[in-house]
Amino acid sequence: MKLSARNQLAGTVKEVRKGAAIANVVVDVGGQRIVSSITVEAADELGLAEGSDVTIIVKASDVILATA
């Protein structure tokens, strides 16, 4: 699949926590933990499980940076 989005991160699913309607998918990207909230239906359709290889695609209208 080709996408115009440039913010793509390859990772591995570490955990899928399913609720009544929302699944929180924990993905390891180079030692960093990213959590995505998607519908349970989408998680099931994608066949997400621990160890699945995924690509995270980030689309945001704003990105905020902070310094200490």
The domain spans of the chain are 8-57
* Confidence (pTM): 0.84
Each residue of 10-22: pLDDT tens digit?
999 999 999 999 9
Rounded Cα–Cα distance for residues 66 and 68 (Å): 7
> Would you state the structure tokens that stand for residue 63, as one six-digit string?
């990105």
Each residue of 35-59: pLDDT tens digit?
999 999 999 999 999 999 999 998 8
Sequential DSSP letters for 35-62: EEEEEHHHHHHHT--TT-EEEEE---S-
Q: In degrees rounded to 5, what are phi and psi of residue 46?
A: -80, -10
Tell which CATH classification among 3.40.309.10, 2.40.50.100, 2.60.120.10, 3.40.50.150 matches the domain 8-57: 2.40.50.100
